[in-house]
Amino acid sequence: MLPFRIGFGYDTHKLVEGRDLILGGIRIDYERGLLGHSDADVLLHAICDALLGALNLRDIGFHFPDTDPRYHNADSKVLLRDTYALVKAKGYRLGNLDSTVIAEQPKLNPHIPAMQAVIAELLETDVEVISIKATTHEKTDAVGRGESMIAQAVALLMKVE
Ligand code: MG
């Protein structure tokens, strides 16, 4: 078997008033936040699913069920760290990660370096291999009306043990 595995992750969360916006492991000043059982960090959730998918380890809901009170308002940085521990336990390390966040507002580009730094630290790697892109839905559909955000991620893992 080749020493590489690729995984894809997708997630969406609704944007509502009265919640902090937590995205890519950082808090972003905005009038609304993502709704979910955990902190609803849509980008970190997509990355978790990309890592899990690469090794055919089911999905984030399987490992961290939203019916479990331990994950109520959970910090998704902890979920990502725990997910990466599963990857390492299988003898793999991250090669590189590419992701896209689709959000009408707020403007995400100024925040991308801070997100890259947090994610690189959690995945024990360099920011150089953590790509985060931002786009909008051009004012169409629920994302375009600012009612929700979507994140997608692709991860390449390399066997090291
Ligand atoms: Mg989620």
> Helical H runs in the chain?
42-54, 60-63, 76-89, 112-122, 141-144
The residues placing their C-beta within 5 Å of ligand 1, an ion, are 11, 45
1 alpha carbon – ligand 1 mean position (Å): 32
42 alpha carbon – ligand 1 mean position (Å): 5
CA distance 115 to 147: 22
Residue-wise pLDDT tens digits, 58-99: 999 999 998 888 888 899 999 999 999 999 999 999 999 999
Q: 133 falls in which pLDDT band (50, 70, 90)?
A: very high
86 alpha carbon – ligand 1 mean position (Å): 19
User: How is domain 4-159 classified at the CATH fold level?
Assistant: 60s Ribosomal Protein L30; Chain: A; (3.30.1330)
pLDDT number for residue 79 = 97
Write the burial class of residue 106 (CB in 10 Å: 0-12 exposed, 13-18 middle, 19+ buried).
Answer: middle
Residues in the chain: 161
3-state secondary structure of 152: strand
Domain spans in the chain, listed from the N-terminal domain onward: 4-159
- Radius of gyration of the chain from its Cα atoms, rounded to whole angstroms: 15
Q: How far is CA 116 from the centre of its chain?
A: 11
- Average per-residue pLDDT for the chain: 96
CA distance 33 to 31: 7
